[in-house]
Chain A
Amino acid sequence: MNAPLRKVGVVIMVLFGLLFANLNWVQAYKADEYRSSPYNGRVKLAEYKRQRGVIMMAGGTQLAISTATDDDLKYLRSYPLKEQYAHIIGYKPVNIGSTGVEYTENDFLAGESDKLFGDRFRDLFTGEQTAGGNVLLTISPTAQERAFNELTKNKVGAKRGAVVALDPATGAVKALVSMPSFDPNVLVNHDTEAAQAAYKALLEDPEKPLLNRAISEINEPGSVMKVLMSAAALEEGRQPATEVTGGATYQAPGTTHKIPNSTGVVCPESITLIRALTVSCNTAFARLGVELGSKKIVDVATRFGFYDQNLSVGRLGDRGVPVAQSVLGQLVTGSGGDDQPTIALSSIGQASVSMTPLEGAMIAAAVANGGQQMQPHLVQQLVGPDLTTNFYVADPKPLRRSCSPSVATQLQQMMTSVVEDGTGTRAKIEGYQVGGKTGTAEGGEGEETHGWFVGFALKDGQPVAAVAVFLENAGKGGSSEAARIAGQVMRGVIADKTGK
């Protein structure tokens, strides 16, 4: 019986050889694929082993922190200021995709960035898990708080809207609010089923609270467009005091549609350019648009930031949250000539002109900054886990030249007139030169109008703040309320800047 016993022994050896070969396949050849598989829960667990860095503001206010827990995911992310910063910070949940700064600066916060190689290398020897890096934002706490409070408690009952404030000289984002907001804390719950349920509820909310309206949605700008038309007119040799043709209505060539002025706007047949902007005269700017032609309008709009497909807000020269493209729409006919009726409407911010609130703020910032538009950014510094080593400090970068300094100065003068004695008087700030432009845009069929205000504040000719406020379907008084909110937000920027 020994011969068959030996053979059976060999069979077992072969079977074990197969097991060994197969384990090599699974544990060596396929190891990397399995290790990083989306179905591998360990990927998440590993992420939570190291304390994630803090997202904070100047002054040390912490916006996103990780605290130790008793469960398998060692650290719980929380957002102490809840709704106020939701669209800036975003969220970093267990099983849901992350957004905002949590997303764009994930590598540094998680401690996996190449910048933190030194810490990881040291961890190898000490066996510790040094926390991730910290992110310092450009946000002005007071401006952000004002923006959130004034927007959510706006006096015209708008339910949706956005505010963006910039430092015109640097492009730093000083405030960014989208309404309605949400509490990101429910999404980062370690009870992933509860988090998923909360996420689903937010997704299904008809008001779309997860949407960042400040940068992700474009809307008709209404009369805000007249700032760009003024810039075009000034560049074509007109002065603020140049008389242009206004009147009660304007009928563009090739159409029977008559563009009227808004109710209560008094616009004589002959009106100065500055006066036309101050009272927001539709007929003057519609006619001006047709005279200037589509090429000029597209050229100016592009220089002020329209048609930018690559803009993002985050860290300069690196990842940021992408910004929706602002557009003018089709201004030429099929044969290539100017579509004058459309140009007339587009010149007063109707037809297919659409822009983001951020673009509105960037127009105002360019005007305030002598025609130089700066790259908007949200991350001021990347600070090491030790809170002293800086791995990155924002070095403001020019984005593009929007107009010449002289045109910018004239635009400042004209926009200041709007706030001094025109439609934007509620944005005034004692001791500062405030300029701006209101806008009322038609909402959808049967909906209330949108209210806009874009503006800036100067001190001794130096730019202090630029802001855009958008109130969706705000109805009557929307642009005036927007101007008021803009003034409050800029006061907030000034308060943080001057310490008052």
Chain B
Amino acid sequence: MTTPPTPIAATPIIKPSTRALPEAARAARRTELWLLLLGMLLVAAYLAAVEANMLETVSSDFWAPAGVLAAVFLALHVVIRLRAPFADPVLMPAVALLNGLGVAFLRRLDLGRAEVPDRADLTVFAGDGGRQLLWTLIAVFGAAVVLWFVRDHREISKYAWTLGLAGIVLVLLPALLPGSISEVNGAKLWIKFGSLFAIQPGEFAKLSLLVFFAYYLVRKREVLALASRRFLGIDFPRGRDLGPVLVVWALSLLVLVFEKDLGTSLLYFGMFVVTLYVATERVSWLIIGLLLFFGGAALAYVLAETAGGPFASFGNRVDVWLNPFDEPYKSGYQLTQSLLGLGTGGMFGTGPGAGNPLQVPEVRNDFIFAGMGEEVGLFGLTALLVLYLLVVERGFRAALTVRDSFGKLLAGGLAFTLGLQVFVIIGGVSKLIPLTGQTTPFLSAGGSSLVANWLLVAVLLRISDAARTPASMGGVRK
């Protein structure tokens, strides 16, 4: 596996024209199409319910955002048909539904913010909902470009070192920039261009770092796995092989302290440890990783309580997590309002548009899950969780079935990262773990997150296509 990936030209690829497609691929695309249309119908129904509750009438063009979304996703569907005909048929419709519900909910928030008489005049591309719709357009275009031009996921590994370097720069950039440019709500995760436009480089760093991890670990897996010393019945790696692990650990602690963000650091570190574990199949890496992370977090907490300084904000978050109702209008405000929103929704929710999600601060970003929870209830949120789980598990399935190690590591890493991010933010807003500022993939308002996550989906689609292509059509590439 230390050999560089096979150049693309060496693999004979049968030009996939629709007519020549075997029944398996056509069935998969038919399923994808129907699931997609079903999803967009759900989005339209959600929009209709919102209008019925908020305008007390359903306007004749209530379906417009769903229509725009359907057109965008249909275009992506066509690209998939042409360029990844064997790709997993559930992946794209599931993500499209999440994305669509996010747009619908953001539009609902816009309506809530507008004065009652002005609500009927909200155009399709107005407000946060409209922006999110435009970002969806851009994100899906990006995904289509990846699918169109990257014909084999192994091509990506050619840029592994470049991407790895870019990833580190992207991670560190907000920490190094002055707070006025990079800080939003206490977390230094942003690069602001003026007042209107800001990107979260971390969202992209996640992807590029993962490509590098997968490439590096595939090359190093034997030495990492075999050269070891036994201690307490567990095989521990040699000191010099620990180097990169410690570098990433230090990097994530830097993020924790200087970007004041536990979630992002947990995400990077978890991503790395898991890919390391998958590559080497050694549990010792997991144990070392977990000990390092929780040791680091505990140390940071102790420092926060004693030394304060850059650690203080982390300490506060833990205190708020433990007792959010101690200061319900100050530090605990966000979390208490999030919990009250979720609790108000109860089992069935108030119905789309019938709740008061604007009572929850930052409901368009970090707390969108709590905001939706008030209106769709435990049942609706469970459905959303199932959708996420579906996407993640389909990612793992692609990893399991794809034949090359790089593809396995990349798909597994991407799927895990997505799942972990969902866990970190939803666990945060529902007080399962300390709250950290993460976006909720595909739901939160924000272009960076949406574009990055759609790129992630494009890569997963590409790998799943490779995994499911029959051997007779050039599927075996090992």
Q: Which residues of A contact B (CB under 8 A)?
A: 1-6, 8-9, 12-13, 15-16, 18-20, 22-24, 26-28, 30-35, 37, 39-42, 45, 70, 72
Contacts and interface: CB of A to CB of B under 8 A. Distances in A.
A34 B342 contact: yes
B389 A33 contact: no
B81 to A, nearest CB: 28
The A contact surface, by secondary structure, is helix
Contacts of B144: none
Contact of B385 (A16, A32, A45): A16
B278 interface: yes
A4 B275 CA distance: 10
A222 to B, nearest CB: 50
Interface in B267-282: 274, 277-279, 281
Interface string B400-437: 10000100110010011001101100110011100000
A41 B356 contact: yes
B183 interface: no
A8 B277 contact: yes
Interface in B204-257: none
Interface stretch (B185-193, B391-399, B449-457): B391-399
Nearest to A19: B426
A40 B409 contact: no
A28 B381 CA distance: 12
Nearest to A9: B396
Contacts of A8: 274, 277-278, 396, 412, 416
A22 B388 CA distance: 17
B340 A34 contact: yes
Contact of A35 (B344, B388, B419): B344
B373 A12 contact: no
Contacts of B381: 23, 27
Nearest to A33: B343
19 contacts: A1-B412, A4-B281, A8-B277, A9-B415, A16-B389, A16-B419, A16-B423, A22-B430, A23-B342, A24-B378, A27-B346, A31-B344, A31-B346, A34-B340, A39-B328, A39-B329, A39-B336, A40-B344, A42-B340
B234 to A, nearest CB: 16
Contacts of A6: 396, 400
A22 B281 contact: no
Given A6-B396, A15-B423, A39-B336, 7 more contacts: A8-B396, A13-B389, A16-B388, A23-B342, A23-B378, A27-B343, A42-B355
Contacts of B121: none
A420 B392 CA distance: 97
A258 to B, nearest CB: 63
Contacts of A35: 340, 343-344, 346
A28 B347 contact: yes
A16 to B, nearest CB: 5
Nearest to A3: B281
A156 B400 CA distance: 96
Interface size class of B (residues with CB under 8 A): 35 or more
Interface string B110-139: 000001110000000000000000000000
The B contact surface, by secondary structure, is helix
B304 to A, nearest CB: 25
B125 to A, nearest CB: 25
A20 B340 contact: no
B392 A12 contact: yes
B339 interface: yes
A43 to B, nearest CB: 9
A486 to B, nearest CB: 50
Given A8-B412, A15-B419, A34-B343, A1 B279 contact: yes
A26 B382 CA distance: 13
B277 A30 contact: no
B340 A5 contact: no
CB-based closest 3 A-B pairs: A34-B343, A12-B419, A27-B378
A31 B409 CA distance: 41
Contacts of B279: 1
Interface of B: 115-117, 274, 277-279, 281, 325, 328-329, 336-337, 339-340, 342-347, 355-356, 359, 373, 377-378, 381-382, 385, 388-389, 392-393, 396, 399-400, 405, 408-409, 412, 415-416, 419-420, 422-423, 426-427, 430-432
Contacts of A1: 278-279, 281, 405, 408-409, 412
Contact of B432 (A3, A22, A34, A37): A22
A39 B274 contact: no
A45 B342 CA distance: 16
Given A5-B400, A5-B412, A20-B385, A26 B343 contact: yes
Contacts of A20: 382, 385
B427 A22 contact: yes
Contact of B356 (A12, A27, A45): A45
Contacts of B415: 9, 12
B233 to A, nearest CB: 19
A39 B361 CA distance: 13
Contacts of A4: 277-278, 281
A20 B356 CA distance: 23
A45 B385 CA distance: 30
Contacts of A33: 343
Given A6-B400, A26-B343, A70 B278 contact: no
A97 to B, nearest CB: 18
B443 to A, nearest CB: 14
Contacts of A45: 356, 359
Contacts of A28: 346-347, 378
A12 B373 CA distance: 21
A70 B432 CA distance: 38
Contacts of A37: 340, 343
B346 A70 contact: no
Contact of A42 (B344, B382, B423): B344
A92 B58 CA distance: 35
Nearest to B378: A27
Contacts of B388: 16
A426 B400 CA distance: 103
Contacts of A42: 340, 344, 355-356, 359
Give the interface centre of A9, A12, A39, A40 by most chain B CB atoms within 10 Å: A12
